[in-house]
Chains A and B, each alone.
Chain A
């Protein structure tokens, strides 16, 4: 029998990066101004992991992909109208608060409980995927804690590639300092892989895939139970956007080498 994988992807939703993101303090702590009404997307790092998961599942017949996502279910539904057309998966929605400021331990606990309760999940075949970072406000530890709670100790972060061997073992390429990769060998599942960008392009929308996914997504969204996340004493003193200055020039006649040289000069000057 081929390597049958059970891949669970943890992916949150974040405001579309083009939106104006302005921190505000509300009654429930910090958040982003008007976040609920801003268009949302699947966190791009986690989205990479979803596409890698689908690709891996496609190469290993009998495998299955679950997408576990915590967020307001109305918002999740909006995002699914695009994401569901990309690749085949089963959505496990958890109706929770929006925003990236809840305590990572509470979030991880809810996610781990939802994964543990998945019917038909074989935890010996489990690959737990997610984003290495979040496009907005990732604590950087949530996926690791989910893995720990599920008893998975083989964990890899900044993953760009996984190569599965016939005996179920696999090699993983992880990003390390200096723009290099570290190659790790793992005896087999279960494992946690926090993905960087991977190597796959974003799949094009395919409504046929979307319609197939929707048969399970809509009932799942309807049944999603509301969840609250405990603060666990977490308190934010202040929240701010990274200091940045965006200066845009439209240049049409520079070679890649010239562009690289200018970037290097600019970085050196900073």
Chain B
């Protein structure tokens, strides 16, 4: 092979590498996180991939080989990523982004491995979020990997919330796990009896401690709480039978039974005794709310990782599909391009890729948001505590004023001194971020996993029959199945939709949403190729539809936007997720465009990379716009009774004879009239006169505008497809299959 001249390149040169991703996902200045990414990748594409290739997923039981994976997590720093430096960790400050990236890297190869890494964090999270200092120190220190010179095995935990039928899958406010006073001597700490049965509890096969949600079954204990049990405590610590999962087999899942006696100091967050009653400082709802709003984000990112991980194996398969066949000689189109000669194969891969980009951007935006929110939340709690305000409802009431200030801030123009003053207020910052986080977290969990699972099916289909075999490079069939579990655990899709229906109507969130819409228009003005304008139009349509539905009723007079009317609220929540993901995707590409030149590696071929990723944004924005248009159209018109060919509706129709007369004064009117009745009363063959509804013209105007805003989106898809057919990929996948 001789040398060839390299032509000037304006397309993306190779698959986006670390330098590009670090800028997009905002950790280019965090070498602690970059190292964690490399460590996680090394475990994922080494230990984990070898296990999957060797068939370790074929067992439900916890095996020595699976245990080695946990040891690999310990050695590589993944376990320590959750800890503070003084507890044996190495990352200072909030760790939502760090843990999300670790889960992302592991899920790139296997979702079960990612879940196994997260399970202990999930058990520790209630302690981390709401535990007393003593609890935090004890359990996080025990769970930290051994330091040099130490000879011990780190403790691992399991979080037990879900219970057997009939409680499984119901509102987590209902618990069958019970807590009673076992012994309470004067002047001494009470001892408590815990009875709890768990179902689908992750990490139970190897857990040394469990954090379990329980309800009081004793008049001397108020409400509910989350309590810690250790395997050495008095009583029964039965790990139960392993769940026969078809997915995520590298994580342990089982149905344990606990019947244990523990000191009251194990109540997470502590307790106070009032009038002879033990009052937990946090009920179980308050604890799990703090936990899940953070731990659900990495789950969404796990599915996103699967989508992006599918790109390289699919490209390789498509290109090499016909090699080795008769008539497919090196240099021929069939040999060099394989299936990528066909537009459909390229377009479908572009769709998978664009979804992966959007899902990843949404998830990491949520993770970063929680990193920023954590210190503000602590500040908020401290400020309110100084004012004697503690606990859920009283805090919400106290924050009303801050919400008003936040709304005022959003109503002011940039540069207004009052705006700057309000922006600097930590409580204003808190309510803004809290409102956003309350939406981004369920949106990530819902859309990334639900829609992600659908798109994983698409990715599998792009590998043909190979896709559903064990030999498929990249374990795509496993990933498709795994995505379904990710859509279910830590709160299934209905729970996420339910949460969104409440949080997305928050005044503070909607005010931010309006501001984002305006920002998208500005972006579109500067960067017309990103799909930002399409997205802004779709955002406007969604907002208009929400307002309309909140004020409208169905023909029976029942409210359309109502908690029980999930046909309306859930659909609107789904539509919102598309918009949020697309917005985050665009913002990440803008970040790369703005800062890519600062990094010599990212700067190489930056224009081509930005162009391709922008084309993916445009493609995704068009998809989002289509979904939003469809959903909003159905909701606005779908609850109206269709007009019938009855007496009352006939009044809105022209009679054929009337039209004839009118034609003399208004030539051409006959061509405009659609609902015309003949003299014998017969009518056109359709359900009834064409329907309309109050405000429909405004809706149709916006929908029409949205449709025209799709201009250019397919051209962007064509460009992206062309890049997919040319981009350089490695010679082989960097993990065994």
Contact = CB atoms under 8 A, between A and B. Distances in A.
A26 B604 CA distance: 14
A238 B600 contact: no
Contact of A207 (B77, B599, B601): B77
Contacts of A16: 730, 734
A37 B605 contact: yes
B14 interface: yes
Interface string A217-256: 0100000000000000000101111000000000000000
Given A26-B6, A74-B599, A78-B601, A19 B731 contact: yes
A224 to B, nearest CB: 12
A25 B731 contact: no
Given A84-B35, A205-B42, A18 B605 contact: no
A214 interface: yes
Contacts of B601: 36-37, 72, 74-75, 78
Contacts of B732: 18
A81 B22 CA distance: 12
B39 interface: yes
A136 B731 CA distance: 15
Contact of B734 (A18, A25, A73, A85): A18
Interface in B1-23: 1-6, 13-14, 17-19
Contact of A23 (B3, B18, B90): B3
Nearest to A238: B2
Given A18-B734, A34-B13, A85-B35, A208 B42 contact: no
A73 B76 contact: no
Contacts of B541: none
Contact of B3 (A25, A34, A36, A214): A25
Given A37-B13, A74-B599, A211-B32, A24 B730 contact: no
A241 B731 CA distance: 14
Contact of B4 (A24, A72, A78, A82): A24
Nearest to A246: B731
B38 interface: yes
A233 B158 CA distance: 67
Interface in A141-190: none
Nearest to A74: B600
A38 B17 CA distance: 7
Given A37-B17, A205-B38, A238 B3 contact: yes
B728 interface: yes
A198 interface: no
Contact of B35 (A30, A210, A239): A210
A84 B39 CA distance: 11
B35 A205 contact: yes
A208 B730 CA distance: 31
Contact of B2 (A19, A210, A240): A240
A20 interface: yes
A78 B600 contact: no
A189 to B, nearest CB: 28
B3 A218 contact: no
Given A18-B730, A18-B732, A36-B601, A208 B39 contact: no
B113 to A, nearest CB: 16
A218 B29 CA distance: 10
A34 B14 contact: yes
Contacts of A138: none
Contacts of B600: 36, 72-75
A33 B6 contact: yes
A205 B39 contact: yes
Contact of B14 (A30, A38, A214): A38
A96 interface: no
Interface string B14-54: 10011100000000000110111111001000000000000
Contact of A34 (B35, B39, B76, B728): B728
Contact of A241 (B1, B75, B148): B1
A81 B605 contact: no
Interface in A19-48: 19-20, 23-26, 30, 33-34, 36-39
Given A20-B730, A37-B604, A210-B35, A78 B6 contact: no
Nearest to A24: B6
How extensive is the interface on chain A, given as a class?
A: 35 or more
B70 interface: no
Interface string B229-269: 00000000000000000000000000000000000000000
A39 B34 contact: no
Interface string B72-93: 1001110011000000001000
Given A26-B6, A214-B31, A20 B77 contact: no
Given A16-B734, A74-B599, A24 B14 contact: no
B410 interface: no
B159 to A, nearest CB: 25
Interface in B701-737: 728-734
Contacts of B36: 207
B31 A218 contact: yes
Contacts of B34: 81
B731 A20 contact: yes
Contacts of A34: 13-14, 604-605, 728
Given A30-B3, A73-B600, A204-B75, A37 B14 contact: yes
Contact of A85 (B5, B38, B729, B730): B38
Nearest to A206: B77
Given A39-B17, A84-B35, A207-B32, A239 B77 contact: no
Nearest to B20: A37
Given A78-B18, A205-B77, A239 B3 contact: yes
B45 to A, nearest CB: 11
Nearest to A205: B39
A238 B734 CA distance: 30
Contacts of A18: 730-734
A36 B608 CA distance: 14
B330 to A, nearest CB: 12
Contact of B19 (A30, A78, A207, A210): A78
B14 A25 contact: no
A238 B4 CA distance: 9
B31 A81 contact: yes
Contacts of B42: 82, 204-205
A84 B734 CA distance: 21
Nearest to B15: A37
A222 to B, nearest CB: 12
Contacts of A239: 2-3
A18 B729 CA distance: 10
A240 B1 contact: yes
A157 B262 CA distance: 65
Nearest to B77: A207
A150 to B, nearest CB: 30
A98 to B, nearest CB: 10
A167 B659 CA distance: 116
Nearest to B75: A204
Contacts of A205: 35, 38-39, 42, 75-77
22 contacts: A16-B730, A18-B733, A20-B730, A23-B1, A24-B5, A24-B6, A25-B5, A26-B6, A34-B14, A37-B601, A38-B14, A75-B600, A75-B601, A81-B37, A205-B38, A205-B76, A207-B36, A207-B81, A207-B90, A236-B3, A238-B3, A241-B1
Interface of B: 1-6, 13-14, 17-19, 31-32, 34-39, 42, 72, 75-77, 80-81, 90, 147-148, 599-601, 604-605, 728-734
Given A37-B13, A72-B601, A238-B3, 16 more contacts: A16-B730, A18-B730, A18-B731, A20-B728, A20-B729, A24-B5, A25-B4, A78-B19, A81-B35, A84-B35, A204-B72, A205-B35, A205-B75, A211-B90, A214-B31, A239-B3
In order of increasing CB-CB distance, the 8 nearest A-B pairs are A207-B77, A74-B600, A36-B604, A205-B39, A24-B6, A25-B3, A82-B38, A34-B13
Interface of A: 16, 18-20, 23-26, 30, 33-34, 36-39, 72-75, 78, 81-82, 84-85, 204-208, 210-211, 214, 218, 236, 238-241
